[in-house]
Structure 1
Amino acid sequence: MKKWKKEIRINVPIEFAWTYFYGDVEKKKKVFPKIVGEEFTEQTERVIGSVILQTYQNGSLTEQYEITIKKYVDEQNYKMIQESFLLNDRFRMTIDYELLREDHTTTKFIYTSINKPKNPLFSIFQLFGSDEVVVNFMNRTKETIESAYKTTAN
């Protein structure tokens, strides 16, 4: 099992940032450019337990994942969604996207990813994994959301 946890400050209000993680697939595509579509296959009233079929374009390969929402919080000062899915039939991925309101114009974004291999032999390969992909994702997310906010604020 491999776990990454990173945080970054985004200079936008929490409500503005939240739409990039839940609720607006067009905004979500800006943070996750490989997503080409999402549709609920099961939708619960409380959101928790909902299942989303997410389609990714990875080069010439189109992949689909069934994402289950395990946790969901949408409060004024704290928002969080936890998604779980099976990656390439090899790893159980559990990802948390957390947003904390620091003030009216600043949001702390916390990303946590746990990758658990279905086959214990894959654990060996995880020993050599770096956090470069996560750091790049965090920086790209910050830049994307802040840039979009600047264009709407003017």
Structure 2
Amino acid sequence: MKKWKKEININVPIEFAWTYFYGDIEKKKKIFPKVVGEEYIKQTESVIGSVIRQMYQNGSLTEQYEITIEKYKDEPNDKMIQEHFLLNDRFRMTIDYELQKEDDTTTKFIYTSINKPKNPLFSVFQLFGSDEVIVNFMNRTKETIEAAYKKTTAL
């Protein structure tokens, strides 16, 4: 099992940032550029337990994952969604996207990822894993959301 946890401040209000993680697929695609679509397989009233089929472009291949929402919180100062899925039929992934209101114009984004291989032999490969992909994702997310917010405030 490998666990990563990273935090970064995004200079936008929490409600503006939240739409990039939940509810607006076009905005979600901006921070997850390989995501090409999503459709609900099962949708619950509480969101928890909902299952989403996510289509993901990987080179010339379009892959599909069934994402189950394990946790969900949508409060004024604290928002979180936890997704669970099987990656490439090899790794059980649990990913938390959490947003915390720092003030009216700053949101703390906390990313937590737990990666459990289905086969214990894959654990050896995780020893050499780097957080570079996560750091790049966090920085791209910050830049994308802040740039979009600047466009809305410039109008």
| TM-score, with length taken from structure 2 | 0.99
* Ranges of 4+ aligned residues in structure 1 off by more than 4 Å: none
Aligned to 1:71: 71
How far has the Cα of 1:51 moved from its partner? Answer: 0.2
Separation in 2, partners of 1:74, 1:134: 24
Aligned to 2:5: 5
Is 1:61 paired with 2:66? no
Aligned to 2:21: 21
User: What is the one-letter code of the residue matched to 2:72?
Assistant: Y
Task: After superposition, give the CA deviation of every residue in 1:122-154 in whole Å (9 maximum; x if it has no partner).
Answer: 000000000000000000000000000000111
User: What is the one-letter code of the residue matched to 2:107?
Assistant: T
Aligned to 2:151: 151
Identity rate, percent: 84
How far has the Cα of 1:67 moved from its partner? Answer: 0.1
Separation in 2, partners of 1:137, 1:35: 14
Residue ranges of structure 2 left out of the alignment (5+ in a row)? none
Aligned to 1:132: 132
| TM-score, with length taken from structure 1 | 1.00
Separation in 2, partners of 1:15, 1:147: 15
Residue ranges of structure 1 left out of the alignment (5+ in a row)? none
Aligned to 1:95: 95
Separation in 1, partners of 2:29, 2:89: 23
Q: Give SS of 1:93's match.
A: strand
How many residues end up aligned between the 2 structures? Answer: 154
How far has the Cα of 1:21 moved from its partner? Answer: 0.2
